[in-house]
Chain A
Amino acid sequence: MNRGPLPGGPSGAPSPVPEETTFQLGAEKRYKSVTFPRFIRYNGNMGRSGEFYREYRDRIFSYLMRLTGDHYLSGDIMQESFTRYYARYGKGEKNPKILYTIARNVFIDHLRKRKMEEEVGEDTPDRSEDAERRYIVKEEYQNVLKAIQKLNKDDRNILALVLDGEFSYRDISDMTGFSETNVKVRVHRARVTLKKLMMEGDA
């Protein structure tokens, strides 16, 4: 039975928000003693936190799959994104734009770290364990994902945000820093490129 020391006070008072820790790829489960988002108390409003998580969990996982093409990584990033979101923005109205922006930033952090590890010559950790992933990527989508990975990072991110269905070009402009016009052009370019890639894939 794994029971570490209890954080916070013994009763009544909600615990302090967990300190943000550096994201580590393939780290062992580090969140055991952290209050998970669905039970975090902010303004005594636990129900809302849980709803936000439940509503966005699948969607942000799909967004991350399109962005990274990596099942395991997407799960890790999703975990980290919700944790960072609740640590900084848990109070007040839920803001999906922030959640998705955090997710992309976590991905960028991961790429940076991986680049550093490669330069230093460190072994990348074994990801083959954890066969009990909750999600299975559908067969028909595997080819789509492969093609999406061939887009450049920015176009891929913009397309992934568009495919989520919730964000306008204006929202995406806010989230990425590209102008609305630029977003419009890139989305279209991404679609056209994908069409070419998928046709080539079948040939």
Chain B
Amino acid sequence: MKDYLISMFIDDEMDLDEKMEFVRLIDEDGPFKDEAVGLLSQEKLLRSDLVEEAPAFVHEGSRRPLLPRWRKFFLPAGVLGSALAAALLVVVLFSVFTPLSVTERPPVVSHRFVIYEPDASTVEIAGSFTDWKTLPLKQVAESGYWEVTLDVSGGEHRFVYILDGEREYADPTVLARERDDFGGENSILRVGV
């Protein structure tokens, strides 16, 4: 039987003659068509995403809800009403929440990365905020400290230091870490949230 034509159809492996044969069979052969439809729906399932990423295991506490949700509860009635509502919102914000950005766009923050590595001859950093390309750190005089300041967009990031171009090293001062797929560890940085 020419049933394997169905798989060739699914896998885009047909030449013109085979395509013609396939179309003819779909038209003339009921069971063939049913089988084709059945295998096509199965294929959708087989090709669907198998895995999803697990959330990183983080030592810090869970996130607080973003501010914008609160806006719904402060419907202004008239100009005075809205001024009052706005003032009320501000008071509530400052008393209940630590200062958070009210906009929904993640802010860009300047973050200073510092590490103490007196024995290293080069220190670089790579992370999700550098697209995993390495950037060099500069030595701070003769102190043994290395530093770089980078603009980091708000949210959660992963990064590591690389010592002497060879060894990956998570930040010893940052508690939040996750394992990567190679038995090493990334540090997790959260900014602007």
Contacts and interface: CB of A to CB of B under 8 A. Distances in A.
Interface stretch (B72-80, B90-98, B145-153, B175-183): B175-183
Given A6-B167, A75-B181, A192-B3, A38 B50 contact: no
B52 A39 contact: no
B51 A194 contact: no
Nearest to A10: B121
Interface stretch (B21-29, B104-112, B126-134): B126-134
Interface residues of A, number: 64
Interface residues of B, number: 45
B146 to A, nearest CB: 14
Nearest to B45: A144
Contacts of A1: 172
A68 to B, nearest CB: 12
A152 to B, nearest CB: 17
Contacts of A46: 133-134
B13 A169 contact: yes
25 contacts: A11-B165, A29-B183, A29-B184, A30-B183, A31-B182, A34-B182, A35-B168, A36-B180, A39-B165, A41-B165, A57-B181, A134-B180, A136-B52, A136-B54, A140-B45, A140-B48, A145-B50, A168-B11, A168-B13, A169-B11, A188-B3, A191-B10, A192-B39, A195-B39, A195-B42
Interface of A: 1, 3, 6-8, 10-12, 14-15, 29-39, 41, 46-47, 50, 54, 57-58, 61-62, 65-66, 75, 78-79, 82-83, 130, 132-138, 140-141, 144-145, 159, 162-163, 165, 168-169, 184-185, 187-188, 191-192, 194-195, 198
